[in-house]
Structure 1
């Protein structure tokens, strides 16, 4: 994990925002949500250091998930401190592991925090578990702070990486020190990051009847990264796959662990969009390269492979940054015409075509897309358009 002073500017802003919210006289519950190993704990510990008053930090990240009595004991400890020291900062990390956490927090917050003496921060790495509890039990009582996979700008500033290095090694700061030994780095990503996310954030928290199938689906989502694959086609490649409903459910679980995102086809209407075959988009290029068994030089030597990695990196940036900025990300296809990515925010629309400079794509669909939606903006990323390095440093608002 990156040290506190290594948090890049964008995430330091999250720390500042969190600190400011906690100082308010009538604070909301603050929820810090994001993938594993991106700096959530580092951020909240920095807030704890700067709080200047009494504070308590507890983590539920243990082999055996604690019960709600763990929350109650931490709350009681915080209450004890408030009697003598005033407002107390209480941080509960990996809260999603506690069965019934949301109902317990709701009861404590409403019944025993009338004077706003406990300033509560919850951290979690499973969006399904966290967001389900928030919307069902804590609606109107919380504010969300998202911590995403690290961007190129962040890895460049913290580790002096160039773009090619980022494309292969991706945005996991904790793995950056292993860059000089790519086999060790790949093993760390697969075992310490991917397997931990699948084991702790999915299998431990959800009922999964076929764990081997879920793992195989994840592996295929990386193998087919950037491609539009129907569930029916996947059924033919997966043993004991059951049906398309099972695959769709497992995809949803993988999305909740911040591993992959199934982009839906843009139709212009929500109803049709949700019925389309997904385009598999890993949230971090490291997920793809670490699984491949190929060295950085092997990827760079093959024009098609490198071009595919460029497109995956663009898609990962769009999905991660889109979550930060409230921008929806889709793909578009009509017959043999395709647009790599479609961005939507409010009534603004943009189509993005990726050209790596290594090979040419046939059947670019940006012209056809603009005929359907003439007010949309068109962007070419790479050769003949916006340079990739400039795109990776741009906010999505500038593209819409």
Structure 2
């Protein structure tokens, strides 16, 4: 049996309950959403059907009604007390949420015990449909990028390999052939994420500019660079407002985030220079890496990979656990990550050969009095320990 992620047990338990909500499994591409659902349904006693909207005409919203009616009819003919309908890539269909709402409400009125699981790539699914039409009708299960313990247990990845090659399960068997690995990341993961999840669901006036922004931003992961300076490296610069909007979309697709500087007032946060952070270190390596051996033996450069891996670990849980992430810098003083959770502030400095002694952490503590402040890496919590545990334990 393939590797079981912890969300498997969550979905399994909810599907064994009486019909109350539809269940939505959302997350970036290639993290195993479809695999997880197949694992769950194969172990359930509930009869089911699985449909994929990927190849359906986006304008054919009636397709949802047809597959829904097919599930109802099958349930009736077999005289089943309950039935499960799974629809994958649901966000590809125009006005999908309105059709789903109509069919779900009809079953509720008629007391039809048809359970529903919807799968979708990226948080665009959440933004575009769930909050518009389906409020109160669904429970969301977020499936994020794979953690270090998952990649280690499933594929035998070492800590250094995880830091460099990231957490895409489909790419794990390719790490010994770096040229092939890099091509897989760019062609099979990045291209579909941008071309399908972003360009097809959002109004993008300059798609080439967004792709350039993404590639440059990935290369700058764990680095700060103003959008004004970034424009100088882009062939079709547009303007700062456009770049900021595109960066927000890339964040919603769990690809690339621009962290803001920590400050007491929101205006200073919004006007700050962004610190770029990939959601998966594979994206940094694909666009900036030379080779595993070359980059691993460059002490200063490896420090950036470690910091980016810590950042990816932190932002991966932010939405689920409802905390915010910032950085802090004042002159030459810097703190890599500032977490804000229910008013409580945690300051985290990463040390792994990238810099010498940095007085940023005590300076931040003196100015802002965080509840917790600590080092990850040399002289603090080990990188392996930090990447091995859920952030929820840190916030508790």
TM-score with structure 2 setting the length = 0.94
**RMSD between superposed Cα atoms in Å:** 1.7
Superposed CA deviations along residues 160-195 of structure 1, whole A, max 9, x for unmatched, are 111011111110101111121111111101110011
Tell whether 2:244 aligns with 1:227: no
Structure 1 unaligned regions, length at least 5: none
Do the aligned partners of 1:60 and 1:66 also contact (CA within 8 Å) in 2?
A: no
Which of 204, 207, 217 is the aligned partner of 1:208? Answer: 204
Where 1:392 maps in the other structure, the secondary structure is helix
Query: Please, which of 185, 188, 193 is the counterpart of residue 189 of structure 1?
Result: 185
- Verify: 1:25 aligned to 2:18, yes or no: yes
1:243 aligns to 2:239 (yes or no):
yes
Q: Which residue number in structure 2 is paired with residue 68 of structure 1? A: 61
Work out which of the residue numbers 281, 287, 292 in structure 2 matches 1:285: 281
2:211 pairs with 1:218: no
Once the 2 structures are TM-superposed, how far is the Cα of residue 26 of structure 1 from its aligned partner? 3.8
Residue-by-residue CA offset, 1:70-95 (whole Å, 9 max, x unaligned) = 11011101111232212111111111
Q: Are the counterparts in 1 of residues 19 and 114 from structure 2 also a CA contact under 8 Å?
A: no
**Structure-2 residue corresponding to 1:382:** 377
Structure 2, unaligned runs of 5 or more: none
Tell me how far apart the structure 1 counterparts of residues 359 and 121 of structure 2 sit (CA, whole Å): 37
1:38 aligns with 2:53: no
Deviations 1:176-230 (A, max 9, x none): 1112111111110111001111111112222212111111000110121111222
Look up the match of 2:42: 49
Query: Per-residue deviation at 1:276?
Result: 2.6
Aligned residue runs from structure 1 range 132-211, under 5 A: 132-211=128-207
**How far did residue 147 of structure 1 move?**
0.6
1:76-95 to structure 2, matched below 5 A, reads 76-83=69-76, 84-95=79-90
Q: Distance in 2 between matches of 1:230 and 1:362?
A: 25
Seen in structure 2, the aligned counterparts of structure 1 residues 97 and 301 have a Cα distance that, compared at 3 Å, is same
2:301 touches 2:354 (CA, 8 Å); kept in 1? no
Q: In the alignment, is residue 259 of structure 1 matched against residue 255 of structure 2?
A: yes
TM-superposition CA deviations, 1:236-271 (whole Å, max 9, x none): 222322211110111122112221111122213445
Query: Which deviations, in whole Å up to 9, do the C-alpha atoms of 1:42-72 show, x marking residues without a partner?
Result: 1111122122122110111127436211110
- Structure 2 distance, partners of 1:56, 1:214, is 37
In the TM superposition, 1:265-280 aligns within 5 A as: 265-280=261-276
Aligned residues: 392
Deviations 1:8-43 (A, max 9, x none): 4xx2x3122112212222421111011111110011
